[in-house]
Amino acid sequence: MTEPLNHTAAAARVDLLLVAEMIERGARVLDVGCGDGTLLDLLIKTRDVDGRGIELSQAGVNGCVTKGLSVVQGDADTDLADYPDDGFDYVILSQTLQATRRPREVIEHLLRIGRRAIVSFPNFGHWRIRSQVAFQGRMPVTKNLSYAWYDTPNIHFCTIADFVSLTDEMDATIEKAVALDRNGQPMRMTLPWAVWNLFGEQAVFMLRRGS
């Protein structure tokens, strides 16, 4: 029994809905850095997936398990190595890439464990962020990236251009890509990467291994 996408508590989070739309019904899904389980819950209710999660924070895990989600306390940087090749149809890294210690290794694991990897991240190439560094000479603090430099868990920011370049280096293929503007709306597909990189606040990529 599933619910339509727009009737859920997560309806406001466009990036989550975008991820959900990329996933076929009944798929096996691993959500790395699943937080309080909002996305997993959404995927189970709307996509009827066999969903699992990994979350670093104890409070997040406890909340997920209390909701009945299959979530383990663990660290994306160290614990993905245990998962077997092709164990999942989709492995999702939602808004977590920038908080990992070794983002490239994490993405390599995603591509190994899942037939598809879905990665969403805040774009550090957005013009507001660029202008804060360029004109104020300060580390950027925005609505979506509200931490000061000294207490941020986000240690590996990248831009959309950086991410695309990394996928080239890694022998991965971009199957889908969406950039969200500051209103959370998907930008036109026909625009060039450079425009996305300047005006996209968030990016969602679906990758598979091989070229």
Residues that bind other proteins (CB under 8 A): 50, 52, 58, 61-62, 64-74, 79, 82-84, 87
Q: Which is nearer to other proteins, 18 or 111 (CB)?
A: 111
Q: How many CB atoms lie within 10 A of CB 181?
A: 15
Token pair recorded at residue 150:
């000294």
Residue type, 82: D
Token pair recorded at residue 100:
């990992």
Q: Which is nearer to other proteins, 58 or 190 (CB)?
A: 58
- In the complex, minimum distance from the CB of residue 33 to other proteins, in angstroms, rounded to a whole number: 15
Phi, psi of 36 (to 5 degrees): -90, 5
- In the complex, minimum distance from the CB of residue 5 to other proteins, in angstroms, rounded to a whole number: 22
- In the complex, minimum distance from the CB of residue 54 to other proteins, in angstroms, rounded to a whole number: 9
Phi, psi of 125 (to 5 degrees): -90, 0
How many residues appear in the chain? Answer: 211
Q: Which is nearer to other proteins, 81 or 133 (CB)?
A: 81
Is there a contact between 92 and 62 (Cβ–Cβ < 8 Å)? no
- In the complex, minimum distance from the CB of residue 92 to other proteins, in angstroms, rounded to a whole number: 16
Q: Which is nearer to other proteins, 80 or 179 (CB)?
A: 80
Token pair recorded at residue 170:
């890694």
Q: Which is nearer to other proteins, 68 or 175 (CB)?
A: 68
Token pair recorded at residue 99:
């908080």
- In the complex, minimum distance from the CB of residue 141 to other proteins, in angstroms, rounded to a whole number: 31
Output the CA angle 106-87-97, nearest 5 degrees.
20
**119 pairs with which residues across the strands?**
93, 205
